[in-house]
């Protein structure tokens, strides 16, 4: 496989989108809503949404036994994110968060009783669509967040999901947000492309294999490194989040080495036990419900797996010295 000779200038990531913030945010009813007033059904007119809501909110996965942590209201959620948990939101103007679990000192509502804050007439007025719309000042961040992250809103934001499958009744007229999301997504794509463009061979080869990019052709002949890099850059553009999130994963290089040694017969897995083929030395027991290679890669990064990690590099270096013709060996 030929060595990389890329000399192009690295891709520049544009600065943060520089545009004037709006003076207000506009939310509009998407349809006329029927509701009860003095015992009669009224169609259209003013409509008020409750000051409390329950939604599914995006959470970061906990690391090393730590608890999952919620995303911030302005964070970007990766494509395909799956960790969503129930959170209760409340519109309270003088507190700098809409999440009940972060609102300190606010009494809970008692069954059948009016709440001194949530049922306040001024709050109800803020949450009332008059002539089919609510105009929220840019300074009213709590009101803005409560409305855009609301069960009855059709605002498409990956930070939250609805618990119930209901037809939303209002939307945000905010084309600036859509433009900003496009810019942020473009920045992620450019970052991924830059990493793919400048990756060293020892980074590219194991990561490309992990991503499913072929290193040999259908005849089993090693592909030219620039052909692999071209596919690598294409992947970075089409699956940017996956590319970036896995690029610096320390397991990937180890996983690559383990697969090479397994394919070459230096490491075997028999009846759930990982063994060194030459000496039949026991490495570890692999749980039946886990992928053997992935488990061994994780095991090598632990204190118990330190001996295995050292031996792994030694056996691999020995194999590489005997197969110098194979340029896929990093």
Q: Which of 198, 221, 248 is the last residue of a domain?
A: 248
The answer on 326 and 299 residing in a single domain is yes
Distance CA(309)–CA(232), nearest Å, equals 28
Residue 293 lies in a domain: yes
Q: Does 88 fall in a domain?
A: yes
Domain assignment of residue 178, yes or no:
no
What does the pLDDT look like over 276-310, one tens digit per residue?
999 999 999 999 888 999 899 999 988 999 999 99
Structurally, the chain folds into a number of domains equal to: 3
Residue 128 inside a domain? The answer is yes
What's the mean per-residue pLDDT of the chain?
Answer: 85
Q: With respect to residue 228, please indicate whether it lies within any of the assigned structural domains.
A: yes
Same domain (yes/no): 157, 233: no
Q: H/E element holding 319?
A: helix 306-321
Short-list 286, 278, 285, CA closest to 315: 278
pTM, two decimals, is 0.48
Burial class (CB in 10 A: 0-12, 13-18, 19+), 14: exposed
Domain that holds residue 304: 250-330
Print the SS3 string covering 219-251. Answer: CCCECCHHHHHHHHHHHHHHCHHHHHHHHCCHH
Check whether residue 168 and residue 33 sit in a common domain.
yes
Residues in the chain: 330
**One domain for residues 32 and 163:** yes
What percent of the chain is modeled with pLDDT above 90?
Answer: 47
Query: Cα separations (Å) of 122 from 24, 112, 117, 128, 177?
Result: 19, 21, 9, 10, 28
Q: Is residue 22 predicted with pLDDT exceeding 70? A: no
How far apart CA 201 and CA 327 sit, in angstroms, is 10
- Residues 215/222, Cβ–Cβ less than 8 Å: yes
Q: Is residue 123 domain-shared with residue 55, that is, in the same domain?
A: yes
pLDDT at 93 over 70: yes
Indicate the residue among 143, 173, 203 that finishes a domain.
173
Q: How confident is the model at residue 16 (pLDDT cuts 50, 70, 90)?
A: very low
Which pLDDT score, from 0 to 100, does residue 71 have? 96
Same domain, yes or no: 158 and 110: yes
- Does 209 reside within a domain? yes
In a domain, 302, yes or no: yes
Q: Are residues 33 and 152 in the same domain?
A: yes
pLDDT digits (tens, 9 = 90+) for 40-73: 444 455 789 999 999 999 999 987 778 999 999 9
Of the candidate ranges 36-45, 203-212, 251-260, 312-321, the one whose mean pLDDT is the lowest: 36-45
**Which own/partner contact pairs does 246-253 have at CB distance under 8 Å and 24+ positions apart?**
246/207, 246/210, 246/211, 247/192, 247/195, 247/199, 247/203, 247/207, 250/301, 251/294, 251/297, 251/298, 251/301, 252/206, 252/207, 252/210, 252/297, 253/202, 253/206, 253/330
User: Does 208 lie in the same domain as 271?
Assistant: no
Q: Are residues 116 and 214 in the same domain?
A: no
**Do 146 and 202 fall within a single domain?**
no
Point out the domain boundary residue: 219, 248, 277: 248
242 and 264 co-located in one domain: no
Is it the case that residue 13 has pLDDT exceeding 70?
no
Closest C-alpha to 148, from 139, 136, 164: 136
Largest distance between two CA atoms of the chain? 88
**Alpha-carbon distance values, 29 to 10, 52, 54, 148, 170 (Å):** 47, 19, 20, 13, 4
Query: Is residue 298 domain-shared with residue 320, that is, in the same domain?
Result: yes
């Amino acid at each position: 496989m030929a060595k990389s000779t890329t000399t192009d200038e690295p891709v520049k990531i544009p600065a943060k989108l520089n545009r004037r913030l709006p003076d207000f945010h506009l939310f509009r009813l998407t349809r006329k809503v029927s509701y009860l007033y003095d015992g009669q059904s009224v169609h259209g007119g003013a409509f008020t949404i409750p000051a409390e809501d329950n939604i599914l909110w995006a959470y970061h996965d906990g690391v090393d036994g730590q608890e999952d942590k919620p995303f911030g209201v302005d964070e970007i959620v990766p494509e395909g994110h799956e960790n969503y948990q129930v959170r209760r939101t409340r519109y309270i103007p003088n507190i700098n968060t809409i999440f009940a679990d972060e609102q300190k000192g606010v009494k809970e509502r008692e069954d059948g009783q009016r709440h001194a804050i949530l049922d306040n007439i001024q709050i109800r007025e803020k949450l009332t669509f008059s002539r089919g719309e609510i105009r929220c000042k840019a300074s009213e961040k709590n009101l803005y967040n409560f409305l855009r992250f609301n069960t009855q809103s059709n605002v498409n934001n990956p930070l939250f999901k609805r618990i119930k499958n209901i037809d939303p009744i209002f939307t945000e007229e905010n084309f600036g947000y859509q433009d900003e999301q496009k810019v942020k997504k473009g920045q992620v794509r450019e970052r991924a492309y830059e990493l793919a463009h400048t990756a060293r061979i020892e980074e590219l080869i194991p990561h490309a294999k992990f991503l499913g990019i072929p290193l040999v052709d259908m005849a089993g002949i090693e592909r030219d490194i620039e052909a692999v890099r071209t596919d690598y850059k294409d992947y970075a553009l089409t699956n940017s989040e996956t590319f970036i999130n896995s690029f610096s994963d320390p397991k990937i290089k180890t996983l690559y080495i383990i697969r090479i040694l397994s394919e070459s017969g230096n490491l075997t897995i028999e009846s759930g036990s990982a063994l060194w083929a030459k000496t039949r030395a026991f490495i570890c027991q692999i749980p039946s419900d886990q992928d053997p290679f992935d488990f061994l890669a994780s095991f090598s990064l632990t204190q118990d797996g330190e001996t295995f990690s050292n031996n792994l590099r030694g056996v691999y270096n020995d194999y590489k010295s005997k197969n110098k013709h194979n340029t896929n060996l990093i």
